Structure 1
Amino acid sequence: MTAYVKRVGDLTEPVELSAAQVAEKMTSTVDSEFDPVIKPSHYAGHTGIDCKTALESMLGTEAYVSHMQACAFKYIWRWRDKNGIEDLKKARECIDNMISSIEGDGQ
Structure 2
Amino acid sequence: MEYKIVEDGKKPVDMVNHPPHYQSKSGLEVINVIEAFTADLKGIEATDTGNIIKYILRWPNKNGLEDLKKARFYINHLINHIENKTESD
Q: TM-score, normalised by structure 1?
A: 0.38
Q: TM-score, normalised by structure 2?
A: 0.46
Q: Which has the higher strand share?
A: 2
